[in-house]
């Protein structure tokens, strides 16, 4: 993204979402519209533009900002103009939420956000020594739900108590809502809860994760590879759970990018001239 551009199309924004280059997305719809809306743009946070001077210092100046209102008119353009005057790389989402919906791009279910990530940054807790599901779920959280989410890793028998004392959302343990459901793993559960299971690349990624996490390599050709890479990374990481996240996120970023942009590409030998 370059600051010379005043706007960004829904499809161009979608290609950035789910990557390390995703911008900060601010929902500037009127409060009454926001309250009754069924969904939010992935990682979006609602802000009152009347209080822009108060929340502007919380933004990361090193990352671009995209403002989205109902139709891309005065609510987002006012905020964009204000931030650009302060030196931010800020843009309007062309056509706003209306254009996003018309383009059939995914929204995150607001009902789930209100339950699990109403307060930002949201806090989540699970068992330490993550390998597959407990890396994949944080990846989904930070790439599509709350980019600033905090992930806590503790001993398995302490997850429930830490969740109770800290208010963190427990996941991938028995007896909680975000966990395995029959043959489906916690990543599947999160996709369903947050209304993202119909996004084709995420649905395909879920199949790979399920195959790797539940010892069903036949579900997807890539599942065995993900299983091997994940266990290898875990062996290297040891007790460095957040180091495991950093390296694991690169794996899921790569898998998601392959599914979206390169799944049809084939390699062979000898290489053909370009």
For the segment 10-34, what is each residue's pLDDT rounded down to a tens digit? 999 999 999 999 999 999 999 999 9
Task: Output the pLDDT for position 92.
Answer: 98
Question: Which tens digit of pLDDT belongs to each residue from 62-89?
Answer: 999 999 999 999 999 999 999 999 999 9
What average pLDDT does this structure show over 165-181?
96
Per-residue pLDDT for 180 more than 60? yes
Task: Output the pLDDT for position 209.
Answer: 98
Q: Count of CB atoms within 10 A of residue 163's CB?
A: 21
Q: How far apart are CA 262 and CA 264, in angstroms?
A: 5
Task: Output the pLDDT for position 220.
Answer: 97
Residue closest to 140 by CA, chosen among 166, 116, 173, 175: 116
Q: How far apart are CA 152 and CA 207, in angstroms?
A: 26
DSSP 58: G
The answer to whether the Cα torsion of 132, 226, 259, 199 is positive or negative is negative
- CA atoms lying within 13 Å on the CB side of residue 234: 14
Per-residue pLDDT for 274 more than 70? no
Question: Which tens digit of pLDDT belongs to each residue from 218-240?
Answer: 999 999 999 999 999 999 999 99
Task: Output the pLDDT for position 267.
Answer: 84
Per-residue pLDDT for 1 more than 50? no
Per-residue pLDDT for 266 more than 90? no
**Interacting residues of 150 by C-beta distance below 8 A, sequence separation 6+:** 121, 122, 123, 124, 168
The helix or strand, by DSSP H or E, that contains position 109, with its residue range, turns out to be strand 108-109
What average pLDDT does this structure show over 137-146?
98
DSSP 3-state assignment of 177? coil
Least confident of 26-40, 112-126, 259-273: 259-273
Task: Output the pLDDT for position 195.
Answer: 98
Per-residue pLDDT for 2 more than 70? no
Per-residue pLDDT for 250 more than 90? yes
Summary count for the chain: helices (H), strands (E): 12, 10
Q: What are the residue ranges of helices labelled H in the chain?
A: 10-16, 31-36, 52-55, 74-85, 96-102, 110-116, 133-140, 159-166, 186-193, 200-213, 223-237, 241-257
Residue spans of the domains in the chain: they are 7-105, 111-262
Per-residue pLDDT for 200 more than 70? yes
CATH architecture of 7-105: 3-Layer(aba) Sandwich (3.40)
């Amino acid at each position: 993204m370059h600051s010379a551009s005043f706007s960004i199309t829904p499809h161009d924004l979608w290609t950035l979402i789910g990557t390390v280059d995703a911008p900060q997305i601010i929902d500037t719809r009127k409060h009454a519209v926001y309250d009754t809306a069924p969904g939010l743009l992935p990682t979006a946070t609602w802000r009152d533009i009347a209080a822009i001077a108060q929340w502007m210092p919380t933004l990361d100046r090193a990352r671009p900002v995209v403002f989205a209102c109902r139709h891309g008119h005065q609510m987002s353009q006012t905020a964009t103009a204000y931030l650009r005057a302060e030196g931010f790389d800020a843009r309007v989402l062309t056509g706003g939420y209306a254009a996003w919906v018309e383009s059939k791009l995914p929204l995150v279910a607001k009902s789930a956000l209100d339950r699990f990530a109403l307060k930002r940054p949201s806090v989540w807790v699970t068992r330490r020594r993550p390998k597959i599901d407990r890396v994949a779920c944080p990846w989904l959280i930070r790439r599509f739900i709350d980019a600033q989410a905090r992930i806590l890793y503790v001993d398995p028998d302490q997850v429930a108590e830490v969740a109770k004392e800290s208010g963190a959302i427990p996941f991938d343990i028995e007896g909680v809502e975000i966990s395995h459901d029959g043959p489906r793993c916690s990543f599947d559960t999160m996709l369903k809860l947050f209304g993202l299971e119909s996004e084709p690349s995420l649905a395909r990624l879920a199949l790979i994760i399920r195959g790797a996490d539940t010892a069903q390599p036949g579900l997807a050709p890539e599942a065995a590879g993900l299983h091997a890479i994940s266990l290898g990374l875990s062996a290297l990481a040891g007790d460095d759970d957040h180091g495991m996240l950093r390296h694991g996120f690169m794996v899921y970023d790569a898998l998601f990018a392959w599914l979206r942009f390169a799944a049809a590409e084939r390699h062979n030998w000898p290489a053909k001239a370009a």
